Structure 1
């Protein structure tokens, strides 16, 4: 454990004022939770770990801010616009933080910073969604003598819980829509990657966010349960695994929730598909961020006529990937988030091999580094086929009948995204109609999204949709205003005796 002064100095060197933030103030002591670089286990910095009492005070302060602090829509929009500008302006520093605490290479971290700025810009631009609409009283006899409209109002305090794999942009996706909607946020970032969230909070404060509108606290399970169960929390926005999602739902009870719970994404390469383009996309989509990506390509189903050629192309491209230090701009694949996670994925590979699978390339581990792995002849009941691997592993399976391939894509409890390579519009639309997923990508792998589109999945992949516009609507609600017109002479309602006050 670092000495207190050393811990503060390490944060300051990163441009982060403290190791937590609550009640409108940075928390500078105690800083007891060390954040390590997964590449070599060196300590990057230390942060504050909140207890239950600290969490309760943080919720109370954000709740007061939502109720008492005037922060009109135009100011919220300008704050987010300034924040987007600051993120772009400070991209190099912020990308360094993202890369040091996470699995991302410096190139991947730089791309994430650009996306986070875009997410904040889109959040600011979504202000028009809060304008509401007029109510159609003239379209019913029961509406005589009345006019009205609705406007969207904030829900209140949003509990936001984010994962390690996109430690900046996924925070922006929780925070940006909530703030433009007028909500307050208590953010619990992943324990292993809290620094990116703290850096973004600092940007938002400098951009003009009211000081008590948001809290950022790393917390253990007990304090996290306090967060999602507190009656002052109006909504929960969570990205992570389904088991944790279930636990949150049990603790939170009936209240609005947004949950993105992962995927076991597949790609189909049809007989008329471009196998070369598919191979390039598969390698890029399977091994980026060492496979720790909810949209990662995990399963490939290829028509038998392309199988041999596609496997050879994917294997050759995989061998060409540079696995190494995140700091090197030439590196394609860095470490997994921890040695423990790398060992878990290695066990899953070994299980598949024991069941009859063949390693075409990869499968070697060195600490937290796991070489990109292509598996063939994998049984359908192997964990690497049925569960989310969240590591640098892809399976390739041949098929003769495309209907069988479509059925195999759906043969999982997940349904986030899927891709199909085909020249046939009818087959593409068959996949769109058949597959139980949130997005079907034609002549593209599963590993693509833009930050403005509705984002989420079917089945166990989540609840609701994120993407900026959809999140703004989910984190606000319509409030109707109904005016009964009064005759200024008679002093009575002009509504007549039509209708009544019944529901």
Structure 2
């Protein structure tokens, strides 16, 4: 391990498990506490221990719920300018500690440091957007006299908070996705119980620390670290929880939905993103965007490029350029700025991708570039001639691998692009506005990027799944609305 990484790793252990809090990573009513059981957080590049965190249990769940209920009761009428000030203050602190946050993200996820820095900047933007929406959450007047019997009545509706919200976040964007749940929830006046990823909880813990430093009241955010299997059922099934917001895999999402009971759910369950490349596009820009979209953040990206359909007339050119640029990507220690691709979250995930690629090749696919694994590092990989029944095509790969297909008929290609159960984004590269509009209309996705790869996202835009994965929307303005309900005030002037 390079000297910089070793030095920072030692510092980080001091921050997270040393004299400051030791292994006290469970937050209840403003107090960081520990538990009998702990778990280690590993740097998947060299298997070194980064930190140790406590594992919550059902008793901690009950304490966190009671704390959140009390905090909501005390703070639900907090002025919106005060909520905004806390969120803005946290955003400023995150930016002031950008490198510290970025190093934490990189170490616990394997995300290359350059990508980690971008995530920190996006987190600050998400918090600032949440601060703005806190003061914009307004209702409207209602024309009660628009129907007979409503004469002499005046009124309006407003958006009011739901209460206690459980937020369950994944490892791939451990800081910004936590901000996308906590920020809007606090902006709307809710209390939050955060369950961060068990593989990568440290960034989310640091975010909560910053919110507390910025004036967050005790209990407005509680944190439960550890294994979801030990306490998630108790957490999501509680009748005192008004909403569960979850980002992660389908299997866990289905378990949450079955256990949650009658309450609001918002879920983003992954995708298998298609990109269509027309022969009238800017070829060089399309290749560059698709390479970036395929391998950014080690391909562990729910809107990352997974399938690329290239019009036959430019297929060979596109393929040659794509292979050339992919082969130039450097793989290794995620803390080194010059490395483009770091390790996956763990070696087991790298082995899964390896097995999927090997299966496709054994059944006739052509390995164009990559196909190599060293520990948790899987080299950027591209294939063609992959059967549509292979996992690489019909499942979410969530790794640095992409499949290329030539096509001649656009309608047939759109049908193939839509032939998955879960989708979020799709993309098309073309200089023809009619083609852009046709593909945008016909792709069965929640967002279409034209002349951008599918992995483009602005934190202010609505974001979520289509088809089976369509359960609510993130994007700060839209998440705030998801985390409230409307309340009507009507006055009869004849009384």
The TM-score range, normalised by the shorter chain, is: over 0.9
Q: In the alignment, which residue of structure 2 is the partner of 1:499?
A: none
Instruction: Tell me how far apart the structure 2 counterparts of residues 201 and 384 of structure 1 sit (CA, whole Å).
Output: 37
Residue of 17, 31, 46 corresponding to 2:52: 46
CA distance in 1, matches of 2:21, 2:206: 6
Residue 129 to residue 255, structure 1, CA distance change in 2 (3 Å):
farther
Which of 357, 368, 375 aligns to 1:360? It is: 368
- Helix, strand or coil at the partner of 2:40: strand
TM-score (norm 2): 0.95
Contact 2:81-2:135 within 8 A present in 1 as well? no
1:412 aligns with 2:412: no
Once residues 201 and 280 of structure 1 are traced to their aligned partners in structure 2, the CA distance between those partners, rounded to angstroms, is 36
Once the two structures are overlaid, the 10-residue window that deviates more, 252-261 or 448-457, is: 252-261
Q: Distance in 1 between matches of 2:230 and 2:328?
A: 45
Structure 1 Cα separation of the partners of residues 50 and 36 of structure 2? 16
What does residue 318 of structure 1 align with?
A: 326
Q: Quote the Cα distance in structure 2 between the aligned partners of 1:351 and 1:14.
A: 49
1:23 aligns with 2:29: yes
The CA distance in 2 between the partners of 1:300 and 1:479, in whole Å, is 46
Contact 1:271 1:306 in 2 (8 A): yes
Contact 1:279 1:313 in 2 (8 A): yes
Please tell me whether the aligned partners of residues 162 and 190 of structure 2 are also in contact (alpha carbons under 8 angstroms): yes
- Aligned to 1:301, the other structure's residue is in SS state strand
Task: Show the 5 A alignment for 1:333-352.
Answer: 333-352=341-360
Question: Would the aligned equivalents of 2:371 and 2:378 in 1 still touch at CA under 8 Å?
Answer: yes
Counterpart of 1:300 in structure 2 is: 308
CA distance, structure 2, for counterparts of residue 428 and residue 131 of structure 1:
35
Query: What is the rounded CA distance, in whole Å, between the counterparts of 2:445 and 2:34 in structure 1?
Result: 44
Structure 1 residue 12: Cα displacement: 5.9
SS in 1 for 2:47: coil
Residues 378-397 of structure 1 mapped to structure 2, 5 A cutoff = 378-397=386-405
Aligned equivalents of 1:412, 1:47: Cα separation in 2: 37
Do the aligned residues in 2 keep the contact of 1:103 with 1:165 (CA within 8 Å)?
no
Aligned length, in residue pairs: 482
Distance 2:356 2:470 in 1: 24
Partner of 1:145: 152
Partner secondary structure for residue 242 of structure 2 = strand
Q: Which residue of 2 aligns with 1:11?
A: 16
Deviations 1:402-434 (A, max 9, x none): 111111110111221111011111111111111
| Partner residue of 2:181 out of 168, 171, 174 | 174
Q: Give the superposition deviation at 1:99.
A: 1.1
Aligned to 2:225: 218
Asked if 1:206 corresponds to 2:198, the answer is no
Distance in 2 between residues matched to 1:254 and 1:150, nearest whole Å: 24
Of 178, 194, 197, the match for 1:187:
194
The answer to whether the 8 Å contact 2:368/2:381 transfers is yes
Q: Which residue of 2 aligns with 1:122?
A: 129
Which string of whole-angstrom CA distances, capped at 9 and with x for unpartnered residues, describes residues 204-235 of structure 1? 00111101111111143130111110001000
Residue of structure 2 in register with 1:245 after alignment: 253
8 Å CA contact 2:157–2:489 kept in 1: the answer is: yes
2:458 match: 450
Who is 1:159 aligned against? Answer: 166
Indicate the RMSD between aligned Cα atoms, in angstroms.
1.7
> 3-state SS of the aligned residue for 1:218?
coil
